[in-house]
Structure 1
């Protein structure tokens, strides 16, 4: 075990790789390092500096529950690898392990899931092995575990590679007085998650938009109408700012399936017709 530990510290390779390298070379440390290099395992360490512009948002348990599921954002270098079965399998297994782990924070990044293991391997070993096998840098960017007793989470996956992985994904939390009944109209609510993916609102409503964004927009409007008489400027700024807020907030946006309606009115109508309290309390958009 001492030799394995030393080889891991020297090379950064996974435990199983180090164990095999030593076994193949009669516990000769230098020969084991050479063996790892020849097998291409050390190359994985070098690849970890390369830029990643593709990848997936991976979900687990989202098809089973609207109250409890998890997702993980994992990046790679090319779209070719993002479609690779080994990469997709790794993404699904990792997200499952995240969902089933009780010893990690509800959300975080790679540094917060170092204790996770799957397929009898620790995360670092599994990741290094995958990088070596596929030949590209792979990075675990972030994860989030969704769970609530008083809300349902509506998810939408766009540009899917399989039923659990996509390039764009959104999750909308809807609080309600009856989660079971609300779940029964999840198909009607799905359009709201689709709205987030398609229209990319800045926030739920005006209160959730950064005041600086509104101040900057106001400055832009004032520059655009600098030749307008002063007595008309205030009304024009107010009108244009209201238009900006409607177009960039989820509740104010025109519904993608019915542009004459707004998201706010759509949710209100669903609440009334189903005798439910439905309130959108949060939204998350994930993109690669």
Structure 2
């Protein structure tokens, strides 16, 4: 029997887009014959995944899982919203979200984790689902947060099943206060984050390039004014930016008469201990993915031979 090397497995994987274990099995079954291995995979229906891998997958689901003081989010994409409503796809995303609790926010670590009830890693299992369901799909990203004392607040927007939807939020609430008070506050705050989409917790967390851009805009609008006046304008402008874009300074979504900072102070009194918002993650399905706009008229003309 021909020796099946790692290089051969890698080559077959690149040619077909199929998972490593399946490529190894194909080479073993065909005694190392690369062309025969490709045919073997096609016969099994696995090589279909390679043909679909170039198609844009911007739909799908965001999955959420919380276990004790750890929460995780994962985005698994598909080509159409129709697939996102498929029971098998939903079950897969839910399973992957649970595995993400131990992936420490690493997408690569998550993809190589063992998928329950199978002989495959997550990435390979998803490739099998591509062949089974007939659409390109993939694990795009993941994130996780933990607290030592406190709670992980969470919320899923546009939920189509428990822990599955279009927007997912986790927020790390650090406090030694009453758990029931903190749990409700964590959920309310996660809902606020989903609705208002803050850039950061406060100005210190806003990317430097964003602050620099805001300063540049203010400087251009107020060109020619004395330096001391300009400094005050910059200070006032950044305060306004913070009220609009940073979590602690924003008006609370459920009660615009108070800021999130004021809400925290109120809840801290009822919870019986100080509260700190350590971190949050808001994950929206498909954000940042450039979707291809199809020219339907051109497609019809092409089909008609025009």
**CA distance in 1: counterparts of 2:85 and 2:55, whole angstroms:** 19
Instruction: Report the TM-score, using the length of structure 1 for normalisation.
Output: 0.82
Q: Does the Cα contact within 8 Å between 1:52 and 1:76 map onto a contact in 2? A: yes
Query: Residue in 1 aligned with 2:105?
Result: 107
Give matches, 1:149-160, under 5 Å.
149-160=148-159
Paired residue for 2:218, among 217, 221, 224? 221
Q: Does the Cα contact within 8 Å between 1:110 and 1:140 map onto a contact in 2? A: no
Structure with the higher fraction of residues in strand conformation: 1
- Equivalent residue of 1:70, what SS? strand
**CA distance in 1: counterparts of 2:47 and 2:231, whole angstroms:** 64
Q: 1:206 to 1:230 in 2, by over 3 A?
A: closer
Paired residue for 1:51, among 45, 49, 56? 56
**CA distance in 2: counterparts of 1:239 and 1:149, whole angstroms:** 37
Give matches, 1:196-215, under 5 Å.
196-215=193-212
Q: Does the Cα contact within 8 Å between 2:247 and 2:260 map onto a contact in 1? A: yes
Paired residue for 2:280, among 269, 279, 283? 283
Q: Does the Cα contact within 8 Å between 2:173 and 2:182 map onto a contact in 1? A: no
How far did 1:3 drift? Answer: 8.7
In structure 2, runs of 5+ residues without a counterpart are 286-306
Farther off after superposition, 68-77 or 245-254: 68-77
Q: 1:252 to 1:2 in 2, by over 3 A?
A: farther
**CA distance in 1: counterparts of 2:176 and 2:2, whole angstroms:** 58
- Equivalent residue of 1:239, what SS? helix
Q: Does the Cα contact within 8 Å between 1:58 and 1:72 map onto a contact in 2? A: yes
**CA distance in 1: counterparts of 2:237 and 2:222, whole angstroms:** 11
- Equivalent residue of 1:118, what SS? coil
**CA distance in 2: counterparts of 1:17 and 1:80, whole angstroms:** 30
Query: Residue in 1 aligned with 2:70?
Result: 68
Correspondence 1:36 to 2:35: no
How far did 1:154 drift? Answer: 0.2
Paired residue for 2:115, among 117, 122, 129? 117
Q: Does the Cα contact within 8 Å between 2:169 and 2:281 map onto a contact in 1? A: yes
Query: Residue in 1 aligned with 2:92?
Result: 90
Query: Residue in 1 aligned with 2:168?
Result: 169
**CA distance in 2: counterparts of 1:112 and 1:148, whole angstroms:** 21
How far did 1:272 drift? Answer: 1.4
Q: Across the two proteins, how many residue pairs are aligned to each other?
A: 278
**CA distance in 2: counterparts of 1:97 and 1:190, whole angstroms:** 22
Correspondence 1:269 to 2:271: no
**CA distance in 2: counterparts of 1:28 and 1:247, whole angstroms:** 62
